[in-house]
Amino acid sequence: MEIFAAFLVSVLVYASPLALGALGGLASERSGVVNIALEGKMLTAACCAALAGQATGSVFLAVLSGVAGAVGASLLHAWLTQSFGIDHVISGMGINAIAIGATGYAADAAPILRSDSPVPTPEWWVWAAGGLFLAVAFHVFLQTSRGGLRLLAVGSDPDKARTSGLSPEMIRWKALAAAGVFCGLAGAMIAGTAGSFTKEMSAGRGYIALAALILGGWKPLPTLAWCLLFSLFNSLQIIFQGQGALGSLIPSEAFQAMPYVATLAALAFVVKSSRAPAGLGKP
Amino acid sequence: VKGSWSWRHAVLTLGAFLVVAAAIQASGVPGADLTTGFLRVVTTGGGWRNVLAKTTPLLLGGLAVYAALRAGLFNIGAEGQMVMGGLASAAVYLALPSPLGLFLGLIAGCAAGGLWAFPAGWIKAYRGGHEVISTIMLNWIGRFLSVYIVTGVLADPTDPSATTREIPPAALLPNVLELGAFRVNASLIIALVAMIAVTVWLTRTVSGYEVEAVGAAPKAAEAGGVLVKKVTVQAMTISGALCGLAGAMLVAGVDRRFYPDLAGGAGFDSLGVALLAVGSPLLTLPAALLFAFIDVSTSGLSLAGLPKGLSSLLLGLVILVFAAYRFQRRKG
């Protein structure tokens, strides 16, 4: 029973930042902005949370600073895509490179990141419950509220939305700010559960979040379900690794590659392009 | 797309300069050390050797991304294609350590790289799935597959880290020029030949013209009788093959072994190289040299205390500032 509880906790601890990151991707992609920069935004948040948290010891300041860092990166994304009209993929790659560079720089140059005091963080269940609440709230927001419907309208046909008096640019600025908040929470939790910041510690979770988003058909609740499934496999992989015979039967790399293989297979055989927001990537 | 520059561009450019200046200032490395560090790269034979070694994969990767871009495709998968090319070639070099093995290994590298890009082209052409997503997924799958293989069947039993055995000298690419510390490996010559071949392909052949047509206006190309789907798959696969060749030559010309971090980010930097090469595939050469110079000089300066992240930060800012001038929205 205790082992099962520990297993469940490990699933939820892994799933929470994944789900938060995927929600960030949802907010931006449903408004029409391709977001391959989730990884960079989460990494930025983890670094900012660790810097503020280890310097002050305050949980609140750690989370706030993580959110501020990711919102900053996300607003840069909005500025580049909406004001300059730079391609979403190019700007996303650029932001990822800057995030890896800047946080790597901080890891080398800021002694506070090597201090013995761990990054302060709320309990894991606060994160898990918060992630679940935000996913449901975001689902309700998209389906019922005026703002949510506008976001969907801008994402599915920016030109039509423009003729009916909406400003796609303005709405996407807001959507990207929201994406920054979600990624900020995800990054703050990643640094908090690890206890300290290490280089490139997001370790591809921004991309797994993107995978969950695509497999979930750009809908909050199915996306959440995929995050949980990926986390389940991640925890199974860690258990399998410890078992000699079982571990050699299914290599841990196969488990690690699973989200990516599933997404590729879905793109090839299941997902029709029509499920993606129709205005994705359009000015 | 040509548009007018605005105050925004000035703000972005100035901001990028300030960020880099502040990062260098905050590192506390004296200015004199920086100058000598940068100068050492361009004034010594050893410095040029490192720059040229770094230029080779960037040139091929840049060409690969450039060619795909002409067909309207974003090949974000250069990194994974380099890794798979390197892995396949290393297997051949190790099985057949001879000049013939070297030749077959380079071909195997091209084939593996092409194979690793093909699904992205196919999904784009026949299923409408975005190539950016599929190439990102293929990068990660390739990474885990290569880790599995170099910790398993191809593992070096004497080395605890994930790597193959060292490739025997008979299957290595030789240096074509050695002047003291200055060396030019045959891989650079092969990359330059590939650059000329890609340029001829894109600008002088019917097939290259079809690629340009698909990239510029797919519907018009289709109406004009171009097989858009076939050209899409073709362009993506050729792009992957060029990256695979880069990986194979990293193994045979630089690292002498395969390990999962072989490409070391060169695949991602290739996107920047391709973006900078506006208008002609021949411009991938100066762009690759610039990126290689930034990489070599900053990693040299990390010994003097310059934090390593600066290189990635600088390249990211170069891409964004450049893209802001180059890829402007059409008004109206």
Q: ipTM for the complex?
A: 0.91
Residue A43's nearest CA partner among A11, A13, A21, A59 is: A21
Torsional class of A272: left (φ above 0), alpha (ψ -120 to 50), beta (otherwise): beta
What is the distance between the alpha carbons of residues A58 and A67, in angstroms, rounded to a whole number? Answer: 14
What's the distance, Cα to Cα, between the start and end of chain A in Å?
Answer: 53
For Cα atoms A166, A171, A176, give the angle at the middle one, nearest 5 degrees: 165
| Digit-coded pLDDT (tens) for A83-121 | 999 999 999 999 999 999 999 999 999 999 988 889 999
| Digit-coded pLDDT (tens) for B258-287 | 999 999 999 999 999 999 998 899 999 999
| H/E run at residue A216 | none
Indicate if the pLDDT at residue B145 is higher than 60.
Answer: yes
- How near does any CA of chain A get to the CA of B18, in Å? 14
- Residue A190's pLDDT is 96
| Mean pLDDT, all residues of chain B | 92
| Digit-coded pLDDT (tens) for B27-43 | 888 888 888 888 989 89
Q: What is the DSSP letter of A115?
A: -
Please report the residues numbered 91 through 120 in chain B whose beta carbons come closer than 8 angstroms to any beta carbon of chain A: 119
Q: Given an 8 Å threshold on Cβ–Cβ distance, is A87 in contact with B152? A: no
Residues of chain B contacting residue A264, judged by C-beta atoms under 8 Å apart:
119, 123, 134, 137-138, 141
Among B122, B129, B327, beta carbon nearest to A90:
B327
Q: What is the DSSP letter of A219?
A: -
Among B8, B27, B130, beta carbon nearest to A84:
B8
Among A83, A105, A267, beta carbon nearest to B8:
A83
Higher pLDDT, A276 or B93: B93
| pLDDT level of residue B60 (50, 70, 90 thresholds) | very high
What is the distance between the alpha carbons of residues B244 and B223, in angstroms, rounded to a whole number? Answer: 33
Helix (H, G, I), strand (E, B), or coil: what is residue B178? strand
Q: Taking the model in full, what pTM does it have?
A: 0.93
What is the rounded average pLDDT of the residues A161-188?
96
- Residue B299's pLDDT is 86
Radius of gyration of chain B (CA): 20
* Partners of residue B177 on adjacent β-strands: B184
- Residue B327's pLDDT is 65
| Digit-coded pLDDT (tens) for B303-329 | 888 898 898 999 999 999 999 887 655
Q: Given an 8 Å threshold on Cβ–Cβ distance, is A210 in contact with B323? A: no
| Digit-coded pLDDT (tens) for B191-204 | 999 999 999 999 99
What is the distance between the alpha carbons of residues A275 and A278, in angstroms, rounded to a whole number? Answer: 8
What is the rounded average pLDDT of the residues B88-102?
97
> How do the residues of chain B divide into helix, strand and coil, expressed in percent and rounded to 5?
75, 5, 25
* Partners of residue B185 on adjacent β-strands: B175
Spatial CB neighbours of A87, under 8 Å, sequence gap ≥ 6: A81, A281, B323, B327
Q: Given an 8 Å threshold on Cβ–Cβ distance, is B127 in contact with A100? A: no
Among A100, A264, A283, beta carbon nearest to B312:
A100
Residue B194's nearest CA partner among B243, B258, B230 is: B243
| Cα–Cα distances in angstroms (integers) from residue A243 to residues A238, A239, A257, B147, B232, in the given order | 9, 7, 19, 19, 45
From A96, which residue of chain B is nearest by alpha-carbon distance?
B316
Radius of gyration of chain A (CA): 19
- How near does any CA of chain B get to the CA of A250, in Å? 11
| Cα–Cα distances in angstroms (integers) from residue A32 to residues A232, A267, B220, B322, in the given order | 30, 19, 26, 23
